[in-house]
Amino acid sequence: MAYELHYWPSIQGRGEFVRLALEEAGAEYVDVARRPLADGGGARNLAQLMDELAPAPFAPPILVADGVVLAQTANILLFLGHRHDLAPRDEIGRLLVNQLQLTIADVVDEAHNTHHPLSSGLYYEDQKDAAKAYAEHFRKERIPKYLGYFERILKGNGESGAGLASEALTYADLSLFQVVRGLQYAFPIAMESMAPKLEATLALVERVAQQPRIAAYLASERRIPFNEEGVFRHYPELDGEI
Ligand SMILES: N[C@@H](CCC(=O)N[C@@H](CS)C(=O)NCC(=O)O)C(=O)O
């Protein structure tokens, strides 16, 4: 059975956390909206499908597996992590990885707010001043606080490249990889200046990038490049450049 992933076809966005888990698991999946329009692909078909699915999801990413419809990124990953050994087997271990993923979801929301601090319904151009102010706080206070938190966990786990929850990689490690790469894309100057304090985090990011399946995925056309439609957007003025 191939999983169906339903997510906006032109961005990494929140769907990328699911894509990374599916890729690392070696799972068979169809990224449905990336198929041609005639085969049910495209954003319009995705919007229509959301009205038809039951139970109704609020927003993508959505995973359809064996007739089960799941939404909310962290929820999908909880499901996939258990099925594909990307999380500890014991209950507390699973909840801990979920807790890490939910914290990553918080970072993702705030990263999104740097370019849409007033409303997702407004254009970036209509909220640029607020975005500048929000992004400055995000760069100076929130990124160091969030990444400092993950760094402390990783340092506490010892060995260079160790995962957040165990020596074996979990989906939370894949997600931290994605967040760091996203922040490096969006805020290259800020992230470069923080690099000396993120030794363990950057070692983990490297380890994830070198996992054979992830490396193959990153080099493939399945990996959509970062762009200014997704969650992590590079606007130089938000990185303190202008
Ligand atoms: N908490 C949800 C957020 C889902 C979400 O915001 N999805 C975005 C794309 S990344 C979307 O299409 N949102 C539509 C909306 O909020 O109206 C998750 O983590 O999956």
Write out the DSSP string of 114-131. Answer: HH-SS-TTS-GGGGHHHH
Are 83 and 18 within 8 A, CB to CB?
no
Q: Does 105 contact ligand 1 (Cβ within 6 A)?
A: yes
**How much is the mean pLDDT over the chain?**
96
Q: Does 73 contact ligand 1 (Cβ within 6 A)?
A: yes
Task: For residue range 75-107, list pLDDT tens digits in order.
Answer: 999 999 999 999 999 999 999 999 999 999 999
pLDDT band with cut points at 50, 70 and 90 for residue 175: very high
Cα 40 from Cα 54, distance rounded (Å) = 18
Contacts 24+ apart (CB under 8 A), 38-47: 41/9, 42/9, 43/8, 43/9, 43/10, 46/6, 46/7, 46/8, 46/9
Task: For residue range 43-62, list pLDDT tens digits in order.
Answer: 999 999 999 999 999 999 99
Q: What is the pLDDT of residue 37?
A: 95
pLDDT band with cut points at 50, 70 and 90 for residue 166: confident
Summarize the confidence of residues 207-222 as an average pLDDT: 98
Beta strands across the sheet bearing 3-6: 29-31, 3-6, 62-65, 68-71
Q: The whole model's pTM is what? A: 0.97
Which residue(s) pair with 62 in the sheet? 6, 71
Q: How far is CA 125 from CA 21, 64, 118, 132, 186, in A?
A: 34, 36, 11, 11, 17
Summarize the confidence of residues 18-37 as an average pLDDT: 98
pLDDT band with cut points at 50, 70 and 90 for residue 158: confident
Distance 240 CA to ligand 1 centre (A): 27
Q: What is the pLDDT of residue 180?
A: 99
Q: Does 72 contact ligand 1 (Cβ within 6 A)?
A: yes
**What is the best residue among 14, 46, 231 to mutate for testing ligand 1's pocket, by most ligand atoms within 8 Å of CB?**
14
Task: For residue range 3-22, list pLDDT tens digits in order.
Answer: 999 999 999 999 999 999 99
Please say if the pLDDT value at position 159 is more than 90: no
Please say if the pLDDT value at position 161 is more than 80: no
Which residues does 88 contact at the CB level (< 8 Å), separation at least 6?
94, 96, 97, 165, 166, 170
Helix (H) or strand (E) holding 70: strand 68-71
Q: Does 13 contact ligand 1 (Cβ within 6 A)?
A: yes
Please say if the pLDDT value at position 147 is more than 80: yes
Q: Does 62 contact ligand 1 (Cβ within 6 A)?
A: no
